[in-house]
Structure 1
Amino acid sequence: MRVIVDADVRIEDPGNLTELAVVSDLPAEEIATALRAADLGDTAGDHAWLRCAALEEQGALLVDDPQWRQRFQGMLDYARRKGWMDDRGEAVRAHITARE
């Protein structure tokens, strides 16, 4: 799953729950502003902190898979085991990468 940040913020490839990244060529502060405006999260350093509930709600709208929410929770469980969740378990850390 990729969160694309350019003229707008959108989720691409929500069925791929083996990767999570924010993809953008914008400066870091503009990425942070866009994520906050979309109510998806914020940035800290080279990473984004994405709101799990918002990702789940928006991602579920884009797939036709009755098991998707269960698979999404599996991704979050994996992130939790790796230490990639915030202390409250409400946000997941994602790399910020440049568009290819």
Structure 2
Amino acid sequence: MIISVTAAGRVKLLDADDFKGFKVRVDDPGASTGSVAKALNGLARVDESGHAWVDEAALRKLGAQVGGPGWQDSATGMIAYAKRAGWVDEATGAIRAHIEWPETARKD
């Protein structure tokens, strides 16, 4: 599952039914951490280590729009796995996602 931040600053969910990988992908090589954080506002926050912490309810809402039958149940399984791996913030329930930047991105 890929949360894509487009060059236009829009967010879309790609590979919604692939629960084996979870990441945020930045498409714009000119994007900064600030612009990505702004695009993800309401869906995720970006921390100082460069990870995105994705709000579970917002992810489920996004997934319901594009995911196939059984998406919610599969998402529950993915989140349970993430929790066992220590990738869920116990206080907020947010799920940690790696941010994949284009090779030439600024990240400042």
Alignment TM-score > 0.5, same fold = yes
d(CA) in 1 for partners of 2:92, 2:79: 9
Task: Name the % identity.
Answer: 35
2:16 maps to 14
Q: Across the two proteins, how many residue pairs are aligned to each other? A: 97
d(CA) in 2 for partners of 1:31, 1:61: 22
CA distance 1:15–1:99, change in 2 (3 Å)? farther
**Native 8 Å contact 1:17 1:71 kept in 2:** yes
CA distance 1:90–1:31, change in 2 (3 Å)? same
Equivalent in 73, 77, 83 of residue 74 of structure 1 = 77
Matched to 1:2, the amino acid is I
Following TM superposition, by how much is the alpha carbon of 1:13 offset from its aligned partner in structure 2, in angstroms? 0.9
Matched to 1:15, the amino acid is D
**Native 8 Å contact 1:47 1:96 kept in 2:** yes
**Native 8 Å contact 2:5 2:25 kept in 1:** yes
**Native 8 Å contact 2:55 2:93 kept in 1:** yes
Matched, 1:51 2:60: no
C-alpha offsets along residues 9-43 of structure 1, whole Å, 9 cap, x if unaligned? 1111100011110000421111111111xx10110
Q: Which 5+ residue runs of structure 1 have no aligned equivalent?
A: none
Which structure has the greater CA radius of gyration?
2
Following TM superposition, by how much is the alpha carbon of 1:89 offset from its aligned partner in structure 2, in angstroms? 4.9
TM-score (norm 2): 0.83
d(CA) in 1 for partners of 2:17, 2:44: 20
TM-score (norm 1): 0.89
CA RMSD across the alignment: 1.5
